[in-house]
Amino acid sequence: MKWGRMLAAGVLLAGLAVVLWWSNRQEKAREGKPAADAPPKILALGADTIQRIEIRRRGEDPITLQLKGSQWEMTSPKPFAVDSTAVSAITSAAASVDSERVVDPNLSDPKAYGLAPAAIEVDFGTKDGKTSKLLIGDTTPAGSAVYAKLDGDPRLFTMAMYSKSAFDKEAKDLRDKRLLPFTQDKLSRIEITAQKQTYEFVKKGESEWQIVKPKAMRADSTQTDELVQQLKNAQMDLSGVQDDKKNAAAFSSASPLAIAKVTDQDGTKTLEIRKVKDDYYAKSSAVPGIYKVGSDLGSALDKNVDDFRNKKLFDFGYDDPNKVELHDSGKAYFLTKGGQDWWSADSKKMDSSTVQALIDKIRELSATKFVDSGFTSPAIELSVTSNDGKRLEKVQIAKSGDNYVAKRENDSSLYQLDSSAVTELQKLAADVKPAPANTPAKK
């Protein structure tokens, strides 16, 4: 009896194993395949095989896009540079155009559904020389989809509205709207003419900018980075009707607001901005025509050179200094960093909170404006060593009327300081004190 039951159990287990194996095999066979009741695709092209696109909206001239080498170009209605991201969205959409359902397996009257002529006709040419034509017609009565058909396929489909949107494009939607196309990491020089002066920046290293014209001056990295972004993002406003003659007339009648020149590995490009009442117009050497632009671009360029100058007296920023030396009317302060502690010239450990307060004040010393004169005999001399001893900055501060004027070593600029800032600096220096008496002396 026991052997019989064991034999029956073995047969049952073997049967279950076979069923499980067959089930797994069938599941794997179904992987990657659509469900039997899934609606069919209208079109499926390899996005990387598409080399030509023509979009024809009913009653309008066709828009033709051609891949030349690795770049897309618009050849009609006019030759324009193309926004590669916008074209990629079309080729990606063409890779899988899904239907919602089949309305008629053998359409006999395409005109009844807005397909003869189609509201939108999109022709695709691929590497192998084949063409595919997608026809998009009227909106369905429910308003949630549109009728669609592939030329050469007798079936009539409905297609989601978002699929229509992927192909319903005007020329302005596909144009490269940049007015100054340049490679940001290859940008080497910027020249701005605004407010009756011309000033120039050159790049030092990978990201630091220096003002070289009208004279050598330190540049504010935040302001120069913002300027670069504004120039990089400068775009023509094509949201309204583009009236070339009206734009050209407005531009020619206005006085220049600003001229920007940028230089990268491809050479120098120029952008001129003019203002007419509340409207800004731009002309670029890189793009034919006159275009409206946003007020933010005009505001970003309509600046004085002082707006881009570094007003900070010291460049050590948020790096911890290694040494600080301050002379103030016969008083001298020598502070040296050792490990996590600060030490005086006579090897006394100093109270870190009072030293840090002084360093923070030195760090934030900033000009209220730049002046051409007023520096006399220095009342205060500051020296800060940072970056592991690689950076040494020296500043002298002189009394000038109700304020102070500061001068950096090897820098011709004069920085006017508010008197309250200098008074606080002097107070914080005087407040620096030794650490509690039980702290051991520096060895």
DSSP letter for 308, please. Answer: G
**What is the pTM assigned to this prediction?**
0.78
Rounded mean pLDDT of the chain?
A: 91
Residue 388: pLDDT band with limits 50, 70, 90: very high
69-124 pLDDT, tens per residue? 999 999 999 999 999 999 999 999 999 999 999 999 999 999 999 999 999 999 99
Encoded tokens for 334: 């020598």
147-169 pLDDT, tens per residue? 999 999 999 999 999 999 999 99
414-432 pLDDT, tens per residue? 999 999 999 999 999 999 9
Residue 301 pLDDT > 70: yes
| Residue among 396, 393, 429 nearest 415 (CA) | 396
Measured in degrees and rounded to the nearest 5, phi and psi for residue 52 equal -150, 140
CA 30 vs CA 40, 98, 351: distances in Å:
16, 20, 74
- The β-bridge partners of 257 are none
DSSP letter for 62, please. Answer: -
SS3 of residue 122 by DSSP: strand
Return the CATH fold of 41-174: Immunoglobulin-like (2.60.40)
Residue 261 pLDDT > 50: yes
Mean pLDDT of 370-395: 96
Is the backbone of residue 267 left (phi > 0), alpha (psi -120 to 50) or beta?
A: left
pLDDT of residue 7: 56
Residue 373: pLDDT band with limits 50, 70, 90: very high
Contacts of 52 (CB under 8 A, 6+ apart): 64, 65, 66, 67, 123, 124, 125
Q: What percent of the chain has pLDDT over 70?
A: 90
Mean pLDDT of 214-226: 95
Contacts of 177 (CB under 8 A, 6+ apart): 83, 235, 236, 238
Least confident range from 16-25, 122-131, 165-174, 388-397: namely 16-25
DSSP letter for 412, please. Answer: -
Least confident range from 89-93, 241-245, 374-378: namely 241-245
Query: Where does the chain hold its CATH 2.60.40 domain(s)?
Result: 41-174
Mean pLDDT of 377-403: 96
C-alpha Rg value of the chain to the nearest Å: 36
